């Protein structure tokens, strides 16, 4: 419980006389007591949850109030309000008494600024250390608030909450915002949606009651969101606070001096990297795995463990603070999915430090030091990744100058090998200006050995061909009128395409507008409006049906087309690039889903081979169907990464530089990155699915690519080692290899002694005969991608000749 | 007793692509509608804690892709469902006609203990669009629901938040009844039984 604190100003001077009239504004007075405070803002239906049972929840008001400044200070109306005269308070409904109507009124005022009229209410009790049990009311001067722990509603947290931490190091009980009951929040969120179609709050997340509290405070004090722990907002933070919360170090002269001093004190060269790291990253680095492990303990075991953990001297102060918070400690009592919260939180920190570290080349000794036997194997991977990362020049972006230097000035023929180009793009990616050309090679519209003139001629014929294909439906009036079976099919396809195009990447400027009236009055979107790019997208997808007459439009295809169209912004050129992309993606969209299944099975085998311990865990969690990678594989991580990252990822994958199925190594890299969390916290299919789905928007692309590359090399070595053992490939072995022998024979018996059993099993695979390598796994060494096999009669309709009718 | 045991109700939303499954779920759980939801790929769920007759329960609402081609992948999450919501778009004839096959598909995949009593709730969405566009008359929809064993029927707008809360309240109620019925037959005496019969009559749409 928070300790008492002493209000800074003379308390007798800090209340308004309830009978005293403000000169400018009429005053609502309260007569129950003689003194009052100005109620600036309040929000209703903010609850304290004293026990896990909803029965015990206590509804109340959170409020920002203004005390009267001490009389000795000359009242200057232009003076900003001194934060020590502001009180942030929570009062249970039951304690408000006759002021209730005033609270309700102010709650519903919904003005950006404090009310013009002065609403006076009785002063709240100061702090609550000694209040009788059951009354959780408290108030604290804003100047005494150190930070707010703000958790918007999300998975498992249907009520968003705020915890107030005082400068004295105390936490008040968590306040839960029951937005669905709060009239003002409902009204505000509706207004927001109406006004600018943006139901999202300040943080870009869903608007909720807590956003309002932050907004109130920002009117009077500086509120800084922590860079490391996104749920922490610091109130009027000092520089030190900012630094320890992982704000990018401010480069000013004093900071520079400190660093120099630190560097000078450092004895070995290994310490130098440490010296330039901010203190927080440093702590995380030195405590890296043990910290994660301890988080696991907090969530799996008890309050007691958490208390013990507080004795750990390595614990960063903000983590300590968080753990002290009774709300967090009792998480596991409250919700089944609570452990996910801490897990994700811990992962967020790790991810952040990964970003910070991006430029530091790891020293092998550092790595060894950090290593923990439990995760040893994959730490070694990090060393490998570290070495790859150190290869700085290869990861430079290919700019126009470099690109142009590869081509003969007069003939336009490539003067280095195609492999060299692919290697550069695989590692560095393309600058936007390069994409318009490079992608046409990567997507096999242009042959690598063509001349400039050949390409110009080729593109001309492609343009004609596009116009011809498009004309097939465009000029077919009876089909467009929906006549007959063909017409019905065409209409249905058009509806599907239209519905998805209107839901595809509308946040990207070229797809955002609705400025053009819809060309088709019968369309489901005729009232909404469209834009020229959306219309082009629809036409291209309809035209693709004329090119590939067997597939039909499938959801996800619009996701694949959008980036290509956006880069070229020329329908004919983009169409053929899309055709090239679909060559390799077609199997994802087959009617029987065989292509998706095949990839999920391959991924299953890959994980089995590369990380049998993790695989065992996933098997126990009934997740070895790897369905949780379905979305990532179907549209190549389109929904997981931001737009720019998608472009970078795809062009790398298109090179086939290491493998025609490198996207599965990316999946493995994502999985390995989250291995610890998955192993420690996720026990069921739904938990795994939710966790992986929610990685969307949080994955750091560069380190993922590096990790995927390291994993590929490791995979290659594993297979080579196995082949050596088997004297494979022996000449004339046409027979497919036997599958890994894993199937579910022992799953029912393996529950109790699981950890040791699994560990032994993992090793057993590597000893003796070693793993058997399936055909699917071996195929991943190939730089060819997997095409859908066409029946001979289809074949002639493919490629560069017109589609069959 | 088992009062501390969490009740998790699993609800599956099915229906053709574009009828508004994702929008309904988000309107109910997050109280928002966005014109820019993307077509659902794979599956996802949201959870919401609600009070049903003074019992705190957690609803886990599953949203899947509507395109036929992806249906064969549904198996994994249909299992263990406590209620299935069938959604169609009142302005789209075809989406109404497929309701039956969605229902059949669900019963095959989820294989509930007693298919006849398994709770379905039918929702006709997008009623905000306007009468001149409406293609499925309310009467027809209600006749369908009646023929399938008096399924509760709601007409909603995920966009304007019309009737969404009401529909999900009934969904929660039916899911809880189903969960308790299953628990009763399976695990003896672990929970009190709610009278299921009482609320089945008048849940339907108020129109
Ligand atoms: N006017 C109106 N439009 C709606 C309503 N509900 C959804 N929509 C729109 O209908 C389209 C499809 O909505 P979604 O919620 O994505 O549909 P879905 O059923 O989840 O579709 P899939 O994910 O493809 O299966 C979107 O453009 C929505 O904005 C509604 O109640 N009224
Ligand atoms: Mg959807």
Predicted confidence (pLDDT) per residue in A550-580, tens digit = 999 999 999 999 999 999 999 999 999 999 9
Q: Ligand 1 centre from B159 Cα, in Å?
A: 8
pTM summary value: 0.63
Containing domain of residue B145, as a range? 7-185
B204: confidence class by pLDDT, cuts 50, 70, 90: very low
Give the residue with greater pLDDT, A769 vs B96. B96
Q: Which phi and psi (to 5°) does residue A456 adopt?
A: -60, -45
Helix runs in A31-99, H state only: 93-96
Distance CA B16, CA B99 (A): 8
Give rounded-to-5 percent helix, strand, coil for chain A: 55, 10, 40
Q: Contact B39/A556, CB-based, under 8 Å?
A: yes
DSSP per residue, A647-673: HHHHHHHHTTSS-TTHHHHHHHHHHHH
Structure confidence at residue A681 (pLDDT): 87
CA distance B150 to chain A (A): 30
Cα A70 to Cα A13, A22, A476: the distances in Å are 5, 16, 83
For an interface test with B, the pick among A49, A153, A179, A193 (most B C-beta atoms closer than 10 Å) comes out as: A193
| Percent of chain A topping pLDDT 70 | 63
| Residues in contact with A197: Cβ distance below 8 Å, sequence separation at least 6, in sequence order | B34, B35
**What are residue A679's phi and psi, to 5 degrees?**
-65, -40
Cβ neighbours of residue A500 under 8 Å, at least 6 residues apart? A553, A555, A557, A558, B17, B39
ipTM score of complex:
0.86
The pLDDT of residue B90 is 96
What are the phi and psi torsion angles at B57 (to 5°)? -130, 155
Three-point CA angle A238, A242, A245, nearest 5°: 140
In 10 A of CB A381, how many CB atoms? Answer: 18
The mean per-residue pLDDT over the stretch A38-61 comes to 82
A524 lines ligand 1 (CB under 6 A): no
| B138 inside domain | yes
Give the closest-approach CA distance of B28 to chain A in angstroms: 10
Cα-to-centroid distance, B138 and ligand 1 (Å)? 20
Contacts of A53 in chain B (CB under 8 A): 56
Q: Per DSSP, what are the bridge partners of residue A414?
A: A407
Characterise B88 by phi-psi region: left (phi > 0), alpha (psi -120 to 50), beta (else).
Answer: beta
The whole-angstrom separation of Cα A204 and Cα A638 is 20
Compute CA distances A323 → A23, A175, B192, whole Å: 48, 17, 37
What residues of chain B lie within 8 A of the CB of A184, using their CB?
A: none
- Cβ separation of A503 and B37 shorter than 8 Å? yes
Cβ-proximal residues to A422 (8 Å cutoff; 6+ apart), any chain? A442, A655, A656, A657
What average pLDDT does range A680-700 have in this prediction?
91
Lowest mean pLDDT among A355-359, A527-531, B105-109: A355-359
The pLDDT value recorded for residue B87 is: 98
Q: Which candidate in B6, B30, B49 is best for mutational testing of the A interface (most A CBs within 10 A)?
A: B30
Residue B58 belongs to a domain with what CATH number? 3.40.50.300
Task: Please give the residue that has the higher pLDDT: either A521 or B136.
Answer: B136
- Name the closest residue on chain A to residue B31, using Cα atoms: A180
Identify the bridge partners of residue A327 per DSSP, sorted by sequence position: none
| Predicted pLDDT of residue A163 | 84
Lowest-pLDDT choice from A20-34, A421-435, A690-704, B148-162: A20-34
Domain assignment of residue B197, yes or no: no
Chain B nearest CA to A788, separation (Å): 17
**Would you state the structure tokens that stand for residue A579, as one six-digit string?**
């055709």
Residue A657 has pLDDT above 60, yes or no: yes
Is residue A137 scored above 90 in pLDDT?
A: no
The minimum-distance atom of ligand 1 relative to the CA of A503 is 27
pLDDT score at A517? 84
Tell which residue, B149, B121, B179, B161, has the closest CA to residue B28. B161
- Cα A473 → chain centroid: 41
Q: Check CB contact of B93 with chain A, cutoff 8 Å.
A: no
Residue B205 placed within a domain: no
Give first-to-last CA distance, chain A, whole Å. Answer: 78
Choose the weakest-confidence range: A103-112, A188-197, B11-20: A188-197
Q: In whole angstroms, how far apart are CA A407 and each of A51, A431, A449, A711?
A: 71, 17, 10, 33
Do residues B151 and B205 lie in contact, with contact meaning Cβ atoms separated by under 8 Å? Answer: no
- Tens of pLDDT, residue by residue over A664-687, are 999 999 999 999 889 988 998 899
The dihedral region occupied by A482, where left means phi > 0, alpha psi between -120 and 50, and beta the remainder, is left
The CB of A503 under 6 Å from ligand 1? The reply is: yes
Cα(B63) to ligand 1 centroid in Å equals 12
Task: Among B13, B15, B16, B23, say which to mutate for ligand 1: greatest number of ligand atoms within 8 Å of CB.
Answer: B23
Element spanning A790, H or E: none
Spatial separation of the C-alpha atoms in residues A217 and A65, rounded to whole Å: 11
CB contact under 8 A, A625 and B8: no
From B17, B26, B37, the mutation candidate for ligand 1 (largest count of ligand atoms within 8 A of CB) is B37
How high is the pLDDT of residue A237? 82
Candidate of B15, B19, B20, B42 to mutate for ligand 1, largest count of ligand atoms within 8 Å of Cβ: B20
Cβ distance A600 to A624 under 8 Å? no
User: Residue B19: which of B80, B74, B76, B91 has the closest Cα?
Assistant: B91
Give yes or no for residue B26 CB within 6 A of ligand 1.
Answer: no
Per the CB < 8 A criterion, the answer to whether A47 and A140 are in contact is no
| Residue A754: half-sphere exposure toward Cβ, Cα within 13 Å | 15
User: What pLDDT is stored for residue A280 in this prediction?
Assistant: 35
Cα–Cα separations (whole angstroms), residue A402 to A438, A456, A797: 12, 22, 38
Strands A232-235 and B55-64: unpaired
Instruction: For residue A671, list its beta bridge partners.
Output: none
The predicted structure's pLDDT at residue A2: 46
Contacts with A536 (C-beta within 8 Å, 6 or more apart), sequence order: A565, A571
Structure tokens at B43: 């599956």
Alpha carbon distance A263, A273 (integer Å): 9
The residues near A495 (Cβ < 8 Å, ≥ 6 apart) are: A524
- The atom of ligand 1 lying closest to the CA of B37 is 16
Top pLDDT among B35 and A497 is at A497
Given this model, what pLDDT does residue B138 score? 94
Count the domains in chain B: 1
- Give the tokens for residue A193: 């949606």
Complete DSSP assignment for B71-100:
GGGTHHHHTT-SEEEEEEETT-HHHHHTHH
Write down the pLDDT at residue A196: 53
Summarised one tens digit per residue, pLDDT across range B75-119 is 667 888 999 999 999 999 999 999 999 999 899 888 888 888 999
- Asked whether residue B41 carries a pLDDT value surpassing 60, the answer given is yes
Give the pLDDT mean for A753-773: 44
Vertex A465 angle, CA A459 and A469, to 5°: 145
Q: Which of A262, A257, A148 is nearest to A213 (CA)?
A: A148
Residue B42 has pLDDT above 50, yes or no: yes
Residue B193 lies in a domain: no
Q: What share of chain B is helix, strand, coil (3-state, %, to 5)?
A: 40, 20, 35
In a domain, residue B39? The reply is yes
Question: Using 50, 70 and 90 to split pLDDT, how confident is the model at A592?
Answer: confident
pLDDT at A417 over 60: yes
Q: Which of A207-216, B178-187, B190-199 has the highest mean pLDDT?
A: A207-216
B18 Cβ below 6 A of ligand 1: yes
The pLDDT score that the predictor gives to residue B29 is 94
* Number of neighbours of residue A300 by Cβ within 10 angstroms: 12
- The alpha-carbon gap from B48 to the nearest alpha carbon of chain A, in Å, equals 6
Contact (CB, 8 A) for A570 and A540: no
Distance CA A261, CA A275 (A): 9
Query: What confidence score (pLDDT) does residue A110 get?
Result: 67
CB distance A703 to A354 below 8 Å: yes
B128 lines ligand 1 (CB under 6 A): yes
Indicate whether B132 belongs to any domain: yes
Beta bridge mates, B10:
B60
Pick from A193, A503, A693: CB nearest B33: A193
- Residues paired with residue B84 on neighbouring β-strands, in sequence order: B12, B120
Confidence band for A116, pLDDT divided at 50, 70 and 90: confident
pLDDT at B68: 78
Q: Are A248 and A227 in contact (CB under 8 A)?
A: yes
Residue with more model confidence, A162 or A366: A162
3-state SS of A340-403 is: HHHHHHHHHHHHHHHHHHCCCCCCHHHHHHHCCHHHHHHHHHHHHHHHHHHCHHHHCCECHHHH
Structure confidence by residue, pLDDT tens digits, A213-260: 998 899 889 998 877 667 788 888 877 666 655 444 333 333 333 333
The per-residue pLDDT for A194 is 62
More reliable by pLDDT, A746 or A393: A393
Residue B28 in contact with ligand 1 by CB distance below 6 A = no
pLDDT classification of A722: cutoffs 50, 70, 90:
confident
> Among residues of chain B, what percentage have pLDDT more than 90?
59
Report the alpha-carbon distance of residue A670 to residue A42 in Å, rounded.
Answer: 44
**Residue nearest ligand 1's atom 28 by CA:** B35
Mutation target to probe the A interface, by most A beta carbons within 10 A, among B15, B31, B72 is B31
Report chain B's mean pLDDT, rounded to a whole number: 84
pLDDT at A46 over 90: yes
**Is residue B207 in a domain?**
no
pLDDT tens digits, one per residue of A138-197: 888 898 898 888 877 653 345 678 888 888 777 788 888 887 788 887 777 777 666 654
Stretch among A197-206, A317-326, A758-767, B65-74 having the lowest mean pLDDT: A758-767
User: A465 Cβ partners below 8 Å, 6+ apart?
Assistant: A800, A802
- Residue A729 pLDDT > 50: yes
When CB atoms are compared, the residue of A158, A207, A686 closest to B49 is: A158
Smallest Cα distance from A105 to chain B, Å: 23
Q: What residue of A is the nearest CA neighbor of B92?
A: A524
Is B200 touching ligand 1 by the criterion CB < 6 Å? no
CB contact under 8 Å between B60 and A686, yes or no, is: yes
| pLDDT for B181 | 83
pLDDT of residue A241: 67
**Span B125-132, average pLDDT:** 88
| Domains recognised in chain A with CATH numbers | 37-68+82-245 (2.30.29.230), 294-323 (no CATH), 364-393+592-717 (1.10.472.80), 451-588 (1.10.8.270)
Contact map slice: B 174-203 vs A, CB within 8 A: none
pLDDT for A289 equals 30
Q: Are A218 and A145 in contact (CB under 8 A)?
A: no
Answer for the pair A107, A61: CB distance below 8 angstroms, yes or no.
yes
Q: How far is A662 from chain B (nearest CA, A)?
A: 21
DSSP letter assigned to residue B157: B
Specify the pLDDT at position A405.
Answer: 97
**Number of the ligand closest to the Cα of B158:** 1
Query: 3-state class of A16 per DSSP?
Result: strand
Mean pLDDT, range A480-485, rounded to an integer = 91
Tell me the shortest Cα–Cα distance from B76 to chain A, in angstroms. Answer: 9
The predicted structure's pLDDT at residue B196: 32
Query: Is residue B70 in contact with ligand 1, taking CB distance under 6 Å?
Result: no
Average pLDDT over residues B64-68: 84
**Atom 21, ligand 1: residue with shortest CA distance:** B18
DSSP 8-state assignment for residue A245: T
Q: Assess whether the previous peptide bond of A386 is cis (omega < 30° from 0).
A: no
Rounded to the nearest whole angstrom, what is the distance from the C-alpha of residue B43 to the centroid of ligand 2? 9
Instruction: Quote the mean pLDDT of chain A.
Output: 73
Q: Calculate ∠ Cα B153-B156-B157, nearest 5°.
A: 165
Contact residues, chain A, for B17 at CB < 8 Å: 496, 499-500, 555
- Yes or no, beta carbons of A207 and B32 under 8 Å apart: yes
């Amino acid at each position: 419980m928070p300790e008492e604190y002493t209000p800074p100003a003379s308390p007798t001077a800090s209340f308004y006389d309830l009978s005293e009239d403000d000169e400018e504004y009429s005053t609502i007075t309260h007569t129950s007591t003689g003194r009052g405070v100005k109620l600036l803002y309040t929000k209703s239906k903010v609850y304290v949850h004293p026990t896990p049972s909803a029965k015990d929840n206590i509804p109340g008001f959170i409020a920002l109030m203004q005390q009267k400044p001490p009389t000795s200070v000359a009242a200057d109306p232009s003076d900003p309000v001194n934060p020590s005269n502001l009180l942030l308070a929570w009062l249970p409904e039951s304690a408000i008494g006759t002021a209730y109507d005033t609270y309700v009124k102010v709650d519903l005022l919904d003005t950006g600024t404090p009310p013009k009229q002065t609403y006076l209410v009785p002063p709240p009790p100061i702090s609550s250390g000694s209040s009788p049990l059951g009354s959780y009311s408290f108030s604290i001067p804003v100047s005494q608030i150190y930070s707010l722990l703000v958790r918007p509603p999300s998975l498992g947290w249907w009520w968003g909450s705020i915890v107030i931490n005082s400068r004295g190091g105390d936490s008040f009980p968590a306040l839960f915002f029951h937005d669905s009951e709060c009239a003002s929040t409902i009204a505000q969120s509706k207004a927001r949606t109406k006004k600018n179609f943006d139901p999202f709050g300040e943080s870009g997340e869903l608007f909720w009651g807590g956003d309002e509290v932050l907004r109130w405070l920002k009117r009077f004090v500086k509120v800084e969101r922590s860079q490391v722990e996104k749920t922490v907002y610091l109130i009027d933070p000092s520089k030190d606070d900012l630094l320890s919360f992982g704000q990018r170090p401010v480069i000013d002269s004093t900071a520079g001096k400190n660093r120099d001093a630190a560097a000078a004190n450092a004895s070995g060269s290994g310490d130098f990297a440490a010296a330039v790291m901010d203190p927080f990253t440093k702590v995380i680095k030195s405590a890296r795995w043990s910290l994660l492990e301890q988080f696991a303990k907090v969530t799996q075991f008890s309050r007691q463990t958490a208390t013990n953990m507080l004795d750990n001297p390595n614990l960063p102060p903000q983590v300590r603070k968080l753990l002290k918070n009774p709300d967090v400690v009792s998480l596991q009592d409250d919700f089944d999915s609570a452990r996910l919260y801490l897990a994700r939180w811990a992962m967020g920190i790790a991810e952040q430090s990964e970003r910070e570290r991006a430029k530091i080349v790891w020293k092998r000794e550092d790595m060894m030091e950090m290593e923990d036997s439990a995760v040893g194997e994959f730490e070694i991977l990090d060393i490998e990744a570290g070495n790859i990362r150190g290869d700085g020049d290869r990861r430079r972006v290919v700019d126009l100058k470099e690109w142009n230097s590869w081509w003969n000035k007069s003939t336009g023929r490539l003067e280095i090998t195609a492999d060299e180009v692919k290697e550069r793009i695989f590692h560095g990616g393309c600058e936007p200006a390069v994409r318009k050309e490079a992608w046409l090679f990567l997507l096999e519209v242009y042959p690598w050995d063509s001349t400039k003139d050949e390409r110009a001629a080729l593109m001309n014929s492609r343009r004609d061909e596009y116009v011809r294909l498009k004309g097939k439906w465009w000029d077919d009036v009876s089909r467009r009128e929906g006549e007959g079976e063909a017409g019905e099919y065409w209409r249905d396809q058009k509806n599907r395409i239209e519905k998805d195009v209107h839901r595809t990447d509308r946040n990207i400027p070229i797809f955002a507008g609705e400025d053009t009236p819809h060309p088709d009055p019968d369309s489901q979107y005729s009232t909404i409006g469209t834009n020229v790019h959306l219309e082009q997208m629809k036409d291209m997808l309809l035209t693709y049906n004329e090119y590939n007459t067997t597939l039909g439009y499938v959801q996800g295809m619009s996701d694949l087309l959008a980036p290509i169209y956006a880069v070229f912004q020329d329908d004919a050129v983009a169409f053929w690039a899309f055709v090239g992309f679909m060559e390799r993606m077609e199997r994802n969209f087959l009617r029987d889903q065989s292509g998706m299944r095949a990839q999920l099975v391959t991924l299953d085998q890959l994980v089995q081979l590369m990380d049998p311990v993790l695989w065992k865990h996933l098997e126990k969690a009934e997740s070895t169907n790897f369905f949780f990678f379905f979305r990532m594989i179907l549209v190549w991580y389109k929904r997981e990464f931001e737009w720019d990252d998608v472009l970078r990822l795809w062009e790398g994958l298109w090179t086939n530089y290491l493998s025609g199925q490198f996207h599965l190594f990316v999946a493995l890299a994502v999985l390995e990155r989250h291995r610890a969390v998955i192993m420690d916290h996720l026990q069921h299919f739904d938990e795994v699915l939710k966790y992986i789905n929610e990685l969307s928007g949080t994955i750091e692309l560069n380190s993922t690519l590096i990790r995927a590359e390291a994993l590929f090399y490791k995979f290659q070595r594993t297979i080579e080692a196995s082949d050596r053992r088997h004297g494979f490939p022996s000449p004339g072995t046409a027979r497919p290899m036997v599958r890994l022998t894993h199937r579910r024979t022992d799953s029912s018996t393996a529950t109790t002694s699981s950890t040791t059993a699994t560990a032994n099993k993992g090793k057993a695979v590597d000893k003796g005969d070693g793993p058997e390598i399936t055909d699917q796994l071996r195929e991943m060494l190939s730089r060819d991608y997997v095409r859908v096999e066409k029946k001979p009669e289809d074949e002639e309709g493919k490629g560069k000749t017109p589609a069959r009718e | 007793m088992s009062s501390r045991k969490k009740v998790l109700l699993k609800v599956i939303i099915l229906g053709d692509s574009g009828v508004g499954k994702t929008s309904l779920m988000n309107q109910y759980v997050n109280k928002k509608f966005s014109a820019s939801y993307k077509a659902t790929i794979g599956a996802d769920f949201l959870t919401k804690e609600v009070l049903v007759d003074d019992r705190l329960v957690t609803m886990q609402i599953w949203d899947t892709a509507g395109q036929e081609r992806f249906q064969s992948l549904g198996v994994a999450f249909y299992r263990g469902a406590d209620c299935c919501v069938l959604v169609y778009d009142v302005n789209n004839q075809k989406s109404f006609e497929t309701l039956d096959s969605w229902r059949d598909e669900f019963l095959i995949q989820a294989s509930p203990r007693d298919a006849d009593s398994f709770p379905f709730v039918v929702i006709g969405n997008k009623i905000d669009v306007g009468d001149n566009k409406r293609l499925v008359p309310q009467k027809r929809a209600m006749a369908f629901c009646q023929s399938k064993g008096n399924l509760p029927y709601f007409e909603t707008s995920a966009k304007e938040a019309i009737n969404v809360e009401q529909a999900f309240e009934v969904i929660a109620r039916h899911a809880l009844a189903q969960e308790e019925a299953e628990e009763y037959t399976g695990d003896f005496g672990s929970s009190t039984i709610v009278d299921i019969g009482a609320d089945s009559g008048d849940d339907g749409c108020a129109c």
